[in-house]
Every structure is written in C-alpha cells, then in structure tokens.
Structure 1
C-alpha cells in the first residue's frame, strides 16, 4: 500500500466485491498505517505484521460478524481460526513466500511446517512466489524444472489441492509491452484435500473484476513511474523500483539544481529578474544568429 495509487484502487475493489475478510501482502507499511486503512474502509478489526526496512509487511482485516482469532504469525504468514455465523470453524493461513530463488528450499520447509494435523478444514492463500508448471509463466527464460518439481512435491506433502481461480492466467508481471515482458502466476489458494472445505466456491464475476482492477492499478503505477523518471532522470530509478520519499526528494533537489537564479551579460552585469534574464537570452541568441556575437551569457 506504499504507492500513491494503491489506496484508492483498493477502495474501488472493496466497493465492488464487499469482502468479509481481506489479506494484504508486501504492504510496505507499518501497523499504524494498516490501522488507518482498516478504519478508513470500515473494517471491524485487523492484524498486521510490520514491514522490515523497505520490504515486506502483512495485514488482514475483517468485518464485525466474522470471528477471527490469530493463532500464529511471522514475516511470511498470518495464521487464524475463523468462526462464521453458521458456527463453521476453519483455519485460514495468509502466506507470502520468500521471493529469492536461493531461498526456495527454506520456503518449502516453512510450508511443510504449517501443516497441523487437527480436525478443522484448512485453506492457505497468498503470494507463494512459486509455480507449479511451465504454463504458469509467459516470457523469456523458462522457470527451472527443479523448482517446479520442488514446489509441487511440497504441496503434495502438505495434502493440499489448488482452488481454481478464474479471470486471468497470471497474477504478476514485469516490463509490460517490452521484448522482455514476463508474466507469472504466483498468487494461489489451496484447500485441505483430506477434509471437505465448507465455504469453497468460485465467484467468477468477482475474480474477473479483481483482475480488471489489478490491471488498472498496474497501468497507473507504470505511468506514475514514467512521470518520476522524467523528473528525476532515468538513472535515479532502475527497472522494478517503486516510488519512495527518497526518489521524490531526489527529483525535487534536481529541480532546484537546474533552476537558473541569474545570468551575467557580456558586460559582466548580473541580471536576476525573470524578465531581465529573458531579454539577456533573447539578445544573446539574436547576436548568435546574426553572426555578430560579442558577448556571453
């Protein structure tokens, strides 16, 4: 939620789908920011895990009539028990996987450690930063088969079946419209295969709306990044960076450095008024094009 555009888009999504429960990963926010967000959009309560430096951050929010009890959490997950009006007790794990490839083994070990052999149904959702098959990626450099096999083996060991999502094949992309455009399916939902999950359904229209709004958000973020690249010069940003106070400050500083406060004429006269500098510049270029330049600016 660290982007200028993210909050209003988030609000539009809430209005269109009216969810009872919301999970946010990689919020780049602190608990106080999540509290303000929950209050702004009318959620009864929330639980948040602070970001670490300029990375991470998790949050869940729920409505008044949803009984939610946090039983465990880390920088990668929030584990809750949920009681609904029908007295159906089930477990929900909101998960964010390590993004680094060299930590895939750690991620799979972490997922296996989440398995609890109790009697209630279990659902785990989130950004796994992993893929199950080659069709989960579109773009250059195919995903290594060893990583596909490792994640699939982990899901099988956990006794999970994927809850199919409709409305889009990919949930993350980078370098849209460029030759190296990459699209991947990283966000997933799984349910316990051994116990019937009581609230399982696929809201096709809602999922379609989600992907439409997500695309709008990504387009807005791309335009915002282009704007700041133009202000702060392209070398201040590298592909994939998000806007921050640092880059905004850098752009403002560069604007000040590029501001002309005064000009000196050929007669060493200092001119600092706006109109005066305009006349000096005009006289200078007139003399250049007339071939009679004898002064300097």
Structure 2
C-alpha cells in the first residue's frame, strides 16, 4: 500500500501520545487542546475491501471501550452515496450502506468541510470521465463535537498527491461554555 499517516500540529504545548498503531490507523490521546484529554484516530484505510472490513472491526472495538471525546480523520477509501462521486463506473449501493452502517454503529457524526467537494482524483480509464470521490473526512462522537463546536475542517489544495489534505482547525476552548449551552 502506498502513502501513509501523518499527524502534524503547530503548538508546542500540545502532546500527542500514540496508544495503538495498526497498518490502517494510529489511535492517540491528545492533551493541551481543550480542558481535558481526548482521543484522535488518524485513518488510512486500505483500498482493499477485505482489509477495510478489518479496520472497521477494530474501530468498533475502540468505540465500545472509549470513555473520552473522540475524533477520527483521514482517508476511509469509501463513500456514503452517489453524491460523493462523479465519473467512473457502476454505483455500489450495498458498499455505501455498509460504510454508513459502520459509521452509525460507532456512533459517529460527520464534521462538515469547506473546500472542494471531492477529496480524491482517480485515473482516466479508456474514454470514461475521470473519477472523483470524497474519500477523506472527519468523524467524531457527539461529546467531541459539543466540546469543539467551533472546529472547522478545510479541504486543502491537492499538491503532489491525488488526495487533498484535511486541515482541522480546533479553536482554543474560550468559547466552550457558550457552545455547550447552545447544544442543549
């Protein structure tokens, strides 16, 4: 599998502790962003469906035992519906349903993004139109979203990759009490 997982941050007071590292994800504890520690899982899902199934089995196990706010981000190598793809071949409703069911089973919400609709540019095969998909996204538990309600996800410019990077802006929790009151 090409590519990999990078976790980058720009504050000296932020501490990220890797708890579990697998081929398709790095599960971490984050300290120094917000009033309490929270969990972050960086995803780089396999293009092979069988391996993605293993990823989701692992994520479901993490979801069962997690007790802190949780955010996941990265390349899931799947889409939820036809609106997340243009060009390419046949639609696969069963595959889309499985992806959505996995997200729901882990009690995850999608964080909306700003920028290009599609995060991945595929090849042109034969005379078909180039394939574009939204493979990259940010998911979270409701408790993470309540704490970081001002968080924004920007789809960055695609440079040397066929993917656009995800840039997650998490504001310092000075607005935390106001945000929590608005979510009640």
Superposed pair shares fold, TM > 0.5? yes
1:201 aligns with 2:150: yes
1:138 aligns with 2:94: no
| Residues 1:139 and 1:152: Cα distance change in structure 2 (over 3 Å) | same
* Greater fraction of residues in strand: 2
Contact 2:75 2:135 in 1 (8 A): yes
1:82 to 22, 30, 37: 30
> CA shift at 1:76, angstroms?
1.0
Contact 2:122 2:130 in 1 (8 A): yes
Residue number in structure 2 paired with 1:65: 13
Structure 2 segments unaligned to the other structure (5+ residues) = 163-184
Tell me the distance in 1 between the aligned counterparts of 2:19 and 2:88. Answer: 41
2:55 to 82, 107, 110: 107
Secondary structure at 2:28's aligned position in 1?
strand
Contact 1:162 1:191 in 2 (8 A): yes
| Residues 1:155 and 1:68: Cα distance change in structure 2 (over 3 Å) | same
Tell me the distance in 2 between the aligned counterparts of 1:195 and 1:83. Answer: 14
- Taking structure 2 as the reference length, the TM-score comes to 0.74
1:124 aligns with 2:72: yes
Tell me the distance in 2 between the aligned counterparts of 1:171 and 1:139. Answer: 14
Structure with greater contact order relative to length (CA < 8 Å, sep ≥ 6): 2
Residue number in structure 1 paired with 2:2: 55
Report the aligned-residue RMSD. Answer: 2.6
1:181 aligns with 2:130: yes
| Residues 1:199 and 1:67: Cα distance change in structure 2 (over 3 Å) | same
| Residues 1:74 and 1:197: Cα distance change in structure 2 (over 3 Å) | farther
Work out which of the two has the higher radius of gyration on C-alpha atoms and give 1 or 2.
1
Tell me the distance in 1 between the aligned counterparts of 2:44 and 2:12. Answer: 25
Q: How does 1:144-293 map to 2 (within 5 A)?
A: 144-175=92-123, 179-193=128-142, 196-203=145-152, 207=154, 210=156, 213-214=157-158, 217=159
Structure 1 segments unaligned to the other structure (5+ residues) = 1-53, 223-297
> CA shift at 1:75, angstroms?
1.3
* Greater fraction of residues in helix: 1
Secondary structure at 2:65's aligned position in 1?
coil
Tell me the distance in 2 between the aligned counterparts of 1:66 and 1:58. Answer: 19
Secondary structure at 1:108's aligned position in 2?
helix
